[in-house]
Amino acid sequence: MQEFEKLYKEHQEKSRMGSEQKFKGGLADQTPETISYHTATHLLNAALKVVLGPDVHQKGSNITQERMRFDFNCDHKLTDEEKQKVEDLVNKWITEKIPVTCEEMKKEDAIKSGAECMFIEKYPDIVTVYKIGDISKELCGGPHVKNTGELGKFKIKKEEASSAGIRRIKAILTK
């Protein structure tokens, strides 16, 4: 029983650390690669809204130095045409070298301004809002690149079901 309790406590600690990490933008670390992927998730979220409609929202993400994984609500498997439109739009925004800016404000002001947010209850009263031109505006803990031109080329590698009503995109950036 003692061994079980010890292992259970270790599991709880790992779970707690994992959930805290999820609210740091899903980043495993803060290398230049993961920071680039983090910014790319904001562009992907915006592109999905353009291609699939404004009711699409991020449901989660996981970012490593090698790739990004992005979960979003959607009731169908994306067609090849939809995936290509999303990819083309993200790459268009990258080539436009759009500045990425941030501003601190009250949480309620950020929401009123139209900033998107996942897990609103997890944010403090004063939040950071990251903007990518007129394309994306989200509450986020950062960090991000200074300009979309730093990202390289965006490529969707896989699109699949994650759970009921949730789709998952796995994508990479290449220089």
The CATH number of residue 155's host domain is 3.30.980.10
Residue 121 placed within a domain: no
Residue 28 above 80 pLDDT? Answer: no
Give the per-residue pLDDT at 165. Answer: 95
Domain count, the chain: 1
The answer to whether residue 90 sits within a structural domain is yes
Element holding 36 (H helix, E strand): helix 32-52
Question: Which residue range(s) make up the domain with 73?
Answer: 2-98+149-174
24 in a domain, yes or no? yes
Q: Does 116 map to a domain?
A: no
Give domain status of residue 107, yes or no. no
Tens digit of each residue's pLDDT (9 = 90 or more) over 83-132? 999 999 999 999 999 999 999 999 999 999 999 988 888 889 999 999 99
Better-predicted residue by pLDDT, 155 or 2: 155
Residue 135 located in a structural domain: no
Q: Is residue 69 part of a domain?
A: yes
The answer as to whether 110 is a domain residue is no
Classify strands 153-163 and 166-174 as parallel, antiparallel or unpaired.
antiparallel
